[in-house]
Amino acid sequence: MLLAAPPLQAPDLRSDLDLTIEELVRLIDLADDLKRNPASYAHTLDGRYLSLLFEKPSLRTRFTFDLAIQQLGGGAVTQIGPIGDREPLADIARNLDRWTNAIVARVFSQNTIEELARWSRVPVINALSDLYHPCQILADVQTIRERFGRWEGLKLAYVGDGNNVAHSLLLNAGRLGIHVAIASPETHSPLPEITASAREAGVEFTLTPDPREAVDGAHIVYTDVWASMGQESEALERQRIFAPYQVNAPLLAAARPEAIFLHCLPAKRGQEVTEEVIESPQSAVFDQAENRLHAQKALLLLLVR
Ligand code: CP
Ligand code: NVA
């Protein structure tokens, strides 16, 4: 069993940048050990409880946080619905921190995460916001190292909407030495404040409107839905805008022959990815989903007291 100490520098995981690069590597090493030896961690969080708050739907994040804490000896209480409608976020945080040892929240606005973290005395974990999806990227980089044995020197092509997942990939995969090339329409590129943070963190990346340019030489081809949760009314318009960005067999063939395909899921087959690609031997999407469990166990072991 790998020791979880010392504690992390930041008390929360509000965004990817709350983890230093050394902490991120330590977390993924721990996640690998948790995957190999789950039984040896069975009582490491005995008697610890999570508050799971979801303003948006979830399959993977909800199940994996709930199972992660249970398999480490603790438990979780889940609430689905708007956060902060009945009472101020400051009061919610100061109730939950009396009963549970961490707050995991999936929210519409990053401000909700920031406000919960401001008031909570226990860690707040961002389980997806409009800006970031840091828990997803932990599993992604674990999957990438399992497949390639390293991060340094790899190229990841992200093709599609410059959204929360693209932002988190840029920040975390980028800091691990993966060159992230994002192909998106200029109107839907990653936000300038995120690319500025990535640059400040020393990340080298490429932004291009051309999917072929992004996938050229790529070890990993990654995509996500064209309309994120909350953007359903734009779905038809987005199908038109993003049509040239579909990850299909010819696009995947333009990457390296050993390239893998990743998708955070849920996927819309026939839109951002074809059935042929997601079901192909190059697809690692279910390993990626499995690793949500192991990576989040590691996160809980490092954050929760
Ligand atoms: N990838 C991901 O976060 O899945 P869910 O929306 O099902 O949690
Ligand atoms: N970008 C997607 C990710 C879902 C896991 C969304 O925010 O809906």
Model confidence pLDDT, tens digit, residues 147-206: 999 999 999 999 999 999 999 999 999 999 999 999 999 999 999 999 999 999 999 999
H or E stretch covering 79 = strand 75-80
CA distances from 235 to 50, 85, 227 (A): 34, 27, 5
pLDDT in tens, 200-250: 999 999 999 999 999 999 999 999 999 999 999 999 999 999 999 999 999
**Which residue do the tokens 């951002």 mark?**
272
Q: Which of 12, 60, 97, 136 is catalytic?
A: 136
User: Before 266, cis peptide (omega within 30)?
Assistant: yes
Domain with residues 16-132+292-303, CATH architecture: 3-Layer(aba) Sandwich (3.40)
The reply to whether CATH 1.20.1260.10 applies to domain 134-288 is no
**In Å, how far from its chain's centre is CA 147?**
18
Q: Is 179 a catalytic residue?
A: no
286 Cβ closer than 6 Å to some ligand 1 atom: no
Residues of the chain with CATH 3.40.50.1370: 16-132+292-303, 134-288
- More confident: 3 or 245: 245
Contact predicate 132/16, CB 8 Å: yes
pTM (predicted TM-score): 0.97
Contact predicate 180/156, CB 8 Å: yes
In the structure encoding, which two tokens stand for residue 214, read together?
């992004």
Q: Using most ligand atoms within 8 A of CB, pick from 65, 225, 265 the residue to mutate for ligand 2.
A: 225
H-state helical runs in 211-274: 211-215, 235-242, 249-253
Sheet holding 220-223, edge to edge: 205-208, 179-183, 155-159, 220-223, 260-263
Question: pLDDT > 70: what percent of the chain?
Answer: 99
Write the residue with the smallest CA distance to atom 1 of ligand 2: 228
Separation between Cα atoms, residue 178 and residue 98, nearest integer Å:
40
Separation between Cα atoms, residue 282 and residue 134, nearest integer Å:
24
Q: What is the DSSP letter of 127?
A: S
